Amino acid sequence: MTVVAIAVWQQRHADTPPDDAIEVLYLVCVLILLSTADVRIERGRINLSGIAIGASAILLNPSNAAVVGLAIAIPMARRGYWPILANAIMTSANACVGALIASELRSTTPLTLQSRVLVLAVVIVSSWVIVAIGLSLRAGESVGSIVRHNFTPQFYAAFGYFGLASLLTSYVLDGSLLGYLLASIVFVLALALTDTIATRRVRRVLESELSDADRHLFHSRAVEGVVHNLRNHIATAVGYLKEVDSRRLDPVDRNAIETATAAANDAVTVLRGLAQGATPRVSYATQPIDLNELATRGLGMARPRARTKEVELALRESPEDVRVKADPLLLREVITNLVNNAIDAAPSNGRVYLTTGKRGNGWPFFSVSDNGPGVSDENRHHLFEP
């Protein structure tokens, strides 16, 4: 499509003077340089190459603007064949479309401020579409969700500044030595803005981590006083459970006593770690742990909770070997907590499934699913916050 558009333009504007080769080469070098700096957003990055693309769309004819856009492949040489090809094609097409509009507006009168702003608006909106589609393909979410979570005021402000930088460049870059100097100053200022945005983002991340640390500290101090008493009470319960003669029980009651004893012992171990004032240390078992066995035990611990809501529990065990090296206590906690959360989320007479298996790459996995309402997009990004 880009090639056809360029051919049509060249046929209609055969008498258009050629662009300055030095100017084209300069914009190519600028695009490569600006591509090395980027602005991080929630799930990706925005590099500054759009400044060079906007300036090329205003100053160059479509064929040379497309060449500048294709130069995006040079700084992306290490990212693989498909990312290089996709970005080069989309960037080149974006620059070419903007240059075609500029050429049509320039065919009657020199480009006015309004005309330049119109060209930049087309280039910027096209960039938004490219960013939204790219992030959607990368994250596996809808375009609407990507726009809601990534197109923030900071995002629009960054593109606004990029458009302003392109507009200034289109005025100062006139082929003279002074023009190249002034254009270089504009690009340096754009790079400085990137550092400022990155610094602000780091500050926000650090402030968020400090807030999380404060919450953890408050939680630690709140539970420290009751951990000792809880350990004593649970230890008493464990002692009485051990006094039960399981040989006199039927198999169902015997299994219930064994499950309750194991759960109480796990609770004592967790409380012992909390009493030490730190998160329990992650240790690796000397022998692999069978995920099927852990899943069966996790469901067994959750059955009383499921019966109160009349929730059906189902286990889909893998016929393959799904052993992993991990801390058995912590992994049992993960499975039990996920199953309990699924039971809470499921409606009455609902269903909860625990599945074990192997992925295509051979890695074992387990998953917990339910027929509850699910987690909204707004809350999904806060799942791992304390």
Domain 285-386 in CATH 3.30.565.10? The answer is: yes
pLDDT value at residue 7: 43
| Predicted confidence (pLDDT) at residue 386 exceeds the cutoff of 60 | no
Give me the residue spans of the domains in the chain: 2-175, 285-386
- The domain made up of 2-175 has a fold known as Arp2/3 complex 21 kDa subunit ARPC3 (1.10.1760)
Residues 146 and 132 sit within 8 Å (Cβ to Cβ): yes
Q: Are strands 323-324 and 312-316 parallel, antiparallel or unpaired?
A: unpaired
Asked whether the predicted pLDDT for residue 11 surpasses 50, the reply is no
> Which pairs with CB-CB distance under 8 Å and at least 24 residues apart come from 27-33?
27/52, 27/55, 27/56, 27/59, 27/60, 27/68, 28/67, 28/68, 28/71, 30/55, 30/183, 30/187, 31/56, 31/68, 31/69, 31/71, 31/72, 32/71, 32/74, 32/75, 33/187
Q: Give the per-residue pLDDT at 118.
A: 92
Give the mean pLDDT of 240-269.
Answer: 75
Backbone angles phi, psi at 307, to 5 degrees: -65, -35
Q: Give the model's pLDDT for residue 139.
A: 67
Q: How many CA atoms does the CB half-sphere of 127 hold within 13 Å?
A: 28
pLDDT at position 4 is 44
Instruction: Give the pLDDT band of residue 265 (cuts 50, 70, 90).
Output: confident
Q: What is the Cα Rg of the chain in Å?
A: 31
Q: Is the pTM of this model over 0.85?
A: no
DSSP string, 331-374: HHHHHHHHHHHHHHHSPTT-EEEEEEEE-TTS-EEEEEEESS--
For 227-249, what is each residue's pLDDT tens digit? 666 766 676 677 767 777 777 77
With a pLDDT cut of 90, the percent of the chain lying above it is: 11
Q: Which tens digits make up the pLDDT trace of 348-362?
A: 888 999 999 888 778
Window from 34-38, 283-287, 288-292, 310-314 with minimum mean pLDDT: 283-287
- Same topology, domains 2-175 and 285-386? Answer is no
Tell me the mean pLDDT in the region 315-331.
Answer: 85
Among candidate residues 66, 48, 45, the one with its CA nearest the CA of residue 57:
66
